[in-house]
Amino acid sequence: MGNADILKEIVLVHYEVSRKLNRKLLELEKDITPPQIYALSILIQGKVSHAEELKQRLSLNPGAASIALNKLCEQGYIQRERDKDDSSLVRLEVTEKGMAIYEKHTRLFGKVIQHMMSDFTKDDLKTFLSYLQKMRQTFHDD
């Protein structure tokens, strides 16, 4: 099997695992979607604080980003507030409800990942982590 075939298989397996993981998480927690959790995660980690920054970080078109932000606001997971220093900017803050759903989802995610990787040895896990870290390093903008 050549490199091109291996890479093609990696893409297919990655897609299938991601799809199944997202489906499992949606079964366990129906109140929030994986993309919404990702948005909350970015806000909680302090990587962005304004709506425009979050839209760019999520790589969504303006319409899709507005829908996502509106849904998070409607669900009570975030709140919007005009920036005191620049009224053209909208500041985003995670609410207590948003923190609670994020923490719940993180626990569920951990359990699902633990189950998925239950047959991995400690060395397997270290190797897998090493590969993920190498992949992350190729994206200098994140």
Residue 142 has pLDDT above 60, yes or no: no
| Token code pair at residue 139 | 């994206």
Q: 65-97, pLDDT tens digit by residue?
A: 788 889 999 999 999 888 788 878 888 999 999
DSSP track, 66-77: HHHHHHHHHTTS
Pick the residue with more confidence: 11 or 62? Answer: 11
What pLDDT, on a 0 to 100 scale, did the predictor assign at position 13? 94
CB-CB neighbours of 1 under 10 Å: 7
Q: Considering the entire predicted model, what is its pTM?
A: 0.77
CATH of domain 3-137: 1.10.10.10
**Residue 129: what are its φ and ψ, rounded to 5°?**
-60, -40
Reported confidence tier of residue 133, pLDDT bands at 50, 70, 90: very high
* Domain locations in the chain as residue ranges: 3-137
Q: 4-29, pLDDT tens digit by residue?
A: 999 999 999 999 999 998 888 888 88
What pLDDT, on a 0 to 100 scale, did the predictor assign at position 141? 58
What pLDDT, on a 0 to 100 scale, did the predictor assign at position 10? 92
